Structure 1
Amino acid sequence: MNQAAPGSGRTTLATVAAAAGVSTATVSKVLNARPDVGQETRVRVERALADHGYVPQRQRRGRKKTRVRTVGLVCDDLLSPYTVEVLRGVSGAAAESEVDVVVALLDDVLGGPSSDAWVRRLRAAGHEGMIVVACELTELQGAAVDRAGLPLVAIDALSLPSIEVATVGATNGTGALGATEHLIGLGHERIAFVGGPESSSCGQARLHGYLAAMTNAGLHVDTELISHGLYITATGVAEGRRLLGLERPPTAVLAANDPIAIGVIEAARLQGLAVPADLSVVGFDDTFLAESSTPPLTTVRQPLQQMGAFAFESLMRLVGGRALDTSHIELATELIVRDSTTRLL
């Protein structure tokens, strides 16, 4: 497991952001003297810049901009809070390297027989590589990218083809383990898991973390307490209502992402139950939905912007013909406790 940015021989924007505990976008704002940064944050970023000897791109010798460089970013949902956070990380790192990011939907660009044609258009337009975000890549799609020789990096891929792909993710299993242990520590024993698609590799890691915590605590898991669906709010509503309608409903639910968790909270409301008094709920990702939900959501934080920045830097390393230190980077998760969980009375 590697938690450092891929080696590039220089201090990167992502390195400074990680040291200061902020996003790459915030570091960029400080570098560009933007006024919408708090004084305390600005000082912390400036200290990190100095400590790491950061030199802005425009000041580095030997760099002459001769053409517009572009990379493609492909996702399955442009409106997803998860995608928005990852895109901020990719675009911030790309701006620092003076590279443009072209965003597209998976079904629009890699669907069916048009896959080869679209990848050829990427090459013809000068695109140097591609980042896919939370997508399920088929063998057909992977083969099209491979035939074109287009460098590819996947972030939290739901599933991957058999070709070798560099990936960036988070410690999904560890995050789910900690979230479940948090609920067990509050006295909950009948804990449900509402996951994403069964084909999702990161979702499976979260399920295994949940099961490990339950097993370690000597708690029995009924199969009726485990379900799967799309990573959308409607899944949480439907599965939440099913779970709460059981003869022995759960007292707590771990959801595989924030939208599902918010759906479970809505299901409880529809059943006339209160969260967390009647049901504790934990999400995963810590997107902007988590803090603004009612009640504010306890969730597992993924460093989504850093994941985006590291994916971009990995891609640029591949574009430059350099090998990666590892084909898979995992960044640490963190449990953020808010008001949607409480001790079982």
Structure 2
Amino acid sequence: MITIKEIAKTLNMSPTTVSNVIHGKTKEVSPDTIKRVQDFLEEVEYVPNINARNLAQNKSKIIGVVLKIRQDRYSHIYTDPFVAEMLAGMEEVIRKAGYFMMTYISDDIAEILNHVSTWNVDGLILFCMLDDDAIRVRKKYHKPIACVDAYISEENESAFGDQFINIALDDEKCAYEGTAYLVKSGCRKVAFLADNMDGVNKARFRGYRRALDENGIEYSDRDYFALRSTKKEMKSSMASLVSNARRYGYDGVFSSSDLFAIHFIRECFEQGILVPEEISVVGVDDSELAEMYRPSLTTMHQDIHRKGALAAEALIRMLKGEKLERRQIVLKPELVVRESVIDFKKQSAE
């Protein structure tokens, strides 16, 4: 590939002038000179050596995105509507800011720490890190960090310093309002559907339980529908949960995600259970699937694209040296009513 010195020699001008045109520093360069250089660059199909430029500036122009996700979900994580939309929001902001995005997925925090400590990335975005995980990353990595859905206690926030922010949903409120809507619609036996009880699901479970308690509905351990969500086990596990829903007379399900809610509704159809006539279902996320599926899904909306974009925007601001006004941005959920919930009270009156 032709070098700046070779271009300068061919055009009979200084390497500094050529470099200034290439990098857009043209205040003291004449229009004729700019045109000569640009025309020649186009003629030889010149591509700037980004690595050399970044090395000179001691920057990589790369943002690392680390997703701590169970190994049994690796094979289909990019097809998860939530993850896909969140990454799209991040990538759009990162690209427009002139950076590149590199993703890494692992469920092993030791493996993540080993890689993070050797990466030459300008900043990190961490997804789904629990309290201790994020702190351990911070001890190894001292550049700006943005988290998405990290549950970090107030006493541990100080360990991150100023170059840190967490973007989250008010998950407890999300589940509280979704469950309360099911109860308001006449459901008296409501299950909580999730594939784990960590992080966001732990907070959502608290909201679910609070809604039951405030409405005088007793909770039993059977009400937690523990889904095995691996690609291999999803079908059989969901079939078992739907069978239990029928056997024990559940009339409502609050699902921790739209994806699980839609799988649940599909399995209900296969087992001859009518949704919402026999059992009502509420999801979380308001993904594109929620509106497209039939019956369309009543769900708790969160702006997933914006959540990813906010994390990237905050990280870019920190990389520019800006001090953020706050370390936590908590988005508010909103109930979106569609077809998967029926008003049992109204139906009984009729």
Regarding TM over 0.5, the answer is yes
Structure 1: which 5+ residue stretches go unaligned? 1-57
Task: Tell me if structure 1 keeps the 8 A contact 2:97–2:316.
Answer: no
Distance 1:181 1:232, change over 3 A: farther
Task: Give distance in 2, aligned partners of 1:263 and 1:135.
Answer: 26
Q: Please show how residues 253-332 of structure 1 align to structure 2 within 5 Å.
A: 253-332=253-332
Give the aligned partner of residue 100 of structure 1: 100
Task: Give distance in 1, aligned partners of 2:325 and 2:297.
Answer: 36
Task: Tell me if structure 1 keeps the 8 A contact 2:130–2:199.
Answer: no
Task: Tell me the CA shift for residue 155 of structure 1.
Answer: 0.9
2:237 is the counterpart of 1:245: no
Task: Tell me the CA shift for residue 188 of structure 1.
Answer: 1.3
Task: Tell me the CA shift for residue 95 of structure 1.
Answer: 2.5
Q: Deviations over 1:145-181 (max 9, x none)?
A: 5223132222123789x65463111111112121112
Task: Tell me if structure 2 keeps the 8 A contact 1:214–1:221.
Answer: yes
Distance 1:231 1:129, change over 3 A: farther
Distance 1:184 1:318, change over 3 A: same
Task: Tell me if structure 1 keeps the 8 A contact 2:174–2:300.
Answer: yes
The Cα RMSD (Å) is 2.9
Residue 186 of structure 2 aligns to a residue in which SS? coil
Q: 2:116 aligns with which of 104, 116, 119?
A: 119
Task: Tell me the CA shift for residue 121 of structure 1.
Answer: 3.6
Distance 1:230 1:74, change over 3 A: farther
Amino acid at match of 2:99: V
Give the aligned partner of residue 157 of structure 1: 150
Task: Tell me the CA shift for residue 216 of structure 1.
Answer: 1.9
Give the aligned partner of residue 40 of structure 1: none
Task: Give distance in 2, aligned partners of 1:319 and 1:280.
Answer: 46
Task: Give distance in 1, aligned partners of 2:221 and 2:188.
Answer: 14
Distance 1:190 1:271, change over 3 A: same
Give the aligned partner of residue 204 of structure 1: 202
Give the aligned partner of residue 61 of structure 2: 69
Q: Please show how residues 40-79 of structure 1 align to structure 2 within 5 Å.
A: 67=54, 69-75=61-67, 76=69, 77-79=77-79
Task: Tell me if structure 2 keeps the 8 A contact 1:300–1:335.
Answer: yes
Q: Deviations over 1:121-151 (max 9, x none)?
A: 422xxx1111122355864x75355223132
Residue 104 of structure 2 aligns to a residue in which SS? strand
Identity of aligned residues (%): 23
Give the aligned partner of residue 88 of structure 1: 88
From the CA coordinates, give the structure whose radius of gyration is larger: 2
Task: Tell me if structure 2 keeps the 8 A contact 1:231–1:259.
Answer: no
Distance 1:136 1:226, change over 3 A: same
Task: Tell me the CA shift for residue 289 of structure 1.
Answer: 2.0
Task: Give distance in 2, aligned partners of 1:135 and 1:288.
Answer: 26
Task: Tell me the CA shift for residue 115 of structure 1.
Answer: 3.7
Task: Tell me the CA shift for residue 229 of structure 1.
Answer: 4.0
Task: Give distance in 2, aligned partners of 1:332 and 1:237.
Answer: 33
Give the aligned partner of residue 126 of structure 2: 132
Give the aligned partner of residue 220 of structure 2: 222
Number of positions where the alignment pairs a residue of Structure 1 with one of Structure 2:
273
Task: Tell me if structure 1 keeps the 8 A contact 2:64–2:125.
Answer: yes
More off after superposition, 77-86 vs 147-156: 147-156
Amino acid at match of 1:175: C
Give the aligned partner of residue 169 of structure 2: 170
Structure 2: which 5+ residue stretches go unaligned? 1-23, 28-49, 55-59, 70-76
Distance 1:232 1:85, change over 3 A: farther
